[in-house]
Amino acid sequence: MIIKITNRSDDMLDTDLKSIESHEEIDELLKNNENIMICCGRMGPMCIPVYGIMEKLEVKYPDVKMRNMSFDITAASFIKRLPECSHFRGLPFTVYFKNGKVVKATTSIQNEKEVTDILDEVFKD
Q: At a CB cut-off of 8 Å and minimum separation 6, what does 113 contact?
A: none
Domains identified in the chain, total number: 1
Give domain status of residue 12, yes or no.
no
* CATH code where residue 29 lies: 3.40.30.10
Instruction: Specify the pLDDT at position 121.
Output: 97
Which CA distances in Å does 21 have to 2, 98, 116, 118?
Answer: 28, 20, 25, 25
Look up the pTM and report it: 0.90
List pLDDT tens digits, range 59-71. 999 999 999 999 9
* pLDDT tier, 11 (very low <50, low <70, confident <90, very high otherwise): low
Structural domain span for residue 101: 18-122
